[in-house]
Structures are given as structure tokens and as C-alpha cells.
Amino acid sequence: MSVTAEILATWRDPAGPVRRLVANGPREDRALVILIGACILLYVARLPMLARQARLDPTVPLDASMGITLFVMLFVMPLLAYALAFLIHLIVRALGRTGTASGARMVLFWAFLAITPAALAQGLLEALLGPSAVVRIFGVAVFGFFLWFVGRGLSVAYPRAEGVK
């Protein structure tokens, strides 16, 4: 399936695409491409709000805001994502599930990529409405979907150990 079809499938059932990704075995190349693609799309989602902020406050130039955001999204966020995936792996293993750290990375990175359509919509809402209750509620809903994607993905990537109920 294409990436966009997999993203749409994730919104219907988050376990299906993760099951297919994890079944391919540990693929760091694929995991890194998924993460970088998600970071680029999340950066694009921030651009309308950065343009709005630059328009409202000309003391902070748009190119400076874009440069800082690009640095954070392409260099800092991947490092934090790898650290978070390892932490998730340790927690899930401590809870008695079996699985590998590559599964946790794939689940987390795929959740980042799958949430990008909602993040793009949130970026447009922020640019149009500015800081408002509607944007905050939408942001909470986006975060809720992200947690749902991660939770369902982890249930596939980390099956219960034999003999554990």
C-alpha cells in the first residue's frame, strides 16, 4: 500500500499498518525515513502559525522563526523521538510484554507520521483563528488520537508473554 493509504488505514484501525510494518522485522532505514518524513510534515504544519506570528509581531522575523523551527524539527525532535521510543520500550517490557526496541521505534514514528493530517489541519486553524479555545480543543483531540495510535500499535508490537494473563 502507499503511504497515504496506510495513513488512512491507521485512522480506521491503528493496529493494521503497525502489524504490517513490524512484520517486516527491524528496519532502521524505514523507521528513520518515516520519522524524518513526519518531522518535515510537522514542520510544514507550523508554518502558517509562524507566518501569523511574524505578521502580528514584526520584531521577530519570519525567516528566523522558520530557521529555529526547522532546526528543532529536523535535529532535536528525532533525537527526542529515539529517546522516547527507548523509554517506551523499557516501560512496556517492565509491564511484562515481549517485543523489541525496534518495534517501539516503529510504533512511535508511525504514530507521528499518521497524525500529520490532523496536525496540518491544526496548523491552519491556528493561523486562521489564533490562540483560541477551538484550537486548544482540536489540539487535545489530535494528541488523543496520537496516544490512541501509540497504544494500539504497542498492543501489536508487544504481545503478551506466554503464560501471562
- The per-residue pLDDT string of the chain (165 residues; one tens digit each, 9 = 90 and over) reads 688 888 988 899 888 888 888 888 788 889 999 999 999 999 999 999 999 888 888 888 999 999 999 999 999 999 999 999 999 999 998 988 888 888 899 999 999 999 999 999 999 998 888 888 999 999 999 999 999 999 999 999 888 766 555
Distance between CA atoms of residues 15 and 29, nearest Å: 21
* Cα dihedral: 37, 40, 43, 44 (round 10): -100
Distance between CA atoms of residues 20 and 6, nearest Å: 10
**Residue 35 CB-density burial (10 A; 0-12 exposed, 13-18 middle, 19+ buried):** buried
User: What's the pTM value of the predicted model, to 2 decimals?
Assistant: 0.88
Domain boundaries, the chain: 15-157
